Amino acid sequence: MDQITVPQFIENEDRILGPITVRQFVIILVACALLFVAYKTTDLTAFIFVAILVGGCAGVLGFVRINGQPFHFFLLNTLRTASRPTLRVWRKDVRRVIHTAKETKEEKALKETPPPLPPRVSGHRLADLALIVDTGGAYMGEAKEKETELF
């Protein structure tokens, strides 16, 4: 059976010029191309403004890391999070309505009314539940203790 070598460090990016990776090199190359076009098409003051803007963006995208990830992953995750709804509600009784010519009043009312919220657990009941979990079921709660005292 032939032995196959498995790469050890697959998380590390390939380096081409010292510490510069391929991704960083491409970002710098695109920024240089944009600066060349700006140099040829604008006057000196506009070029300086564009150079600072493009150079800053290229530096941030190429070299800044947040939580060990490149900045462009952080930027994409931020945009994805901002575009998604902040509240997710799971509705078990969702009914798929087949579009027909006529809908009954009950179906319209069902579609328009939001589902009822589940009952809230009071602080006292929550403390009882925490004690039951902490004691591994040895504590049964106040209601169970009162029932066992009667017998």
Report yes or no on 25 lying in a domain: yes
Number of domains in the chain: 1
Q: What is the residue-wise DSSP string for 81-116?
A: HHHS-S-----TT--PPP--S---HHHHHHHHSPPP
Report yes or no on 104 lying in a domain: no
- pTM equals 0.50
| Token pair in block for residue 85 | 């709804």
Q: In this predicted model, what pLDDT tens digit does every residue of 36-85 receive, in sequence order?
A: 999 999 999 999 999 999 999 999 999 999 988 889 999 999 999 999 88
Q: In this predicted model, what pLDDT tens digit does every residue of 87-139 receive, in sequence order?
A: 877 776 655 544 444 566 766 666 777 777 777 767 777 888 888 888 887 88
User: What is the domain range of residue 54?
Assistant: 18-83
Report yes or no on 1 lying in a domain: no
Report yes or no on 112 lying in a domain: no
Q: What pLDDT sits at residue 127?
A: 82
Report yes or no on 100 lying in a domain: no
* Residues sharing a CB contact under 8 Å with residue 41, sequence separation 6 or more, in sequence order: none
Report yes or no on 103 lying in a domain: no
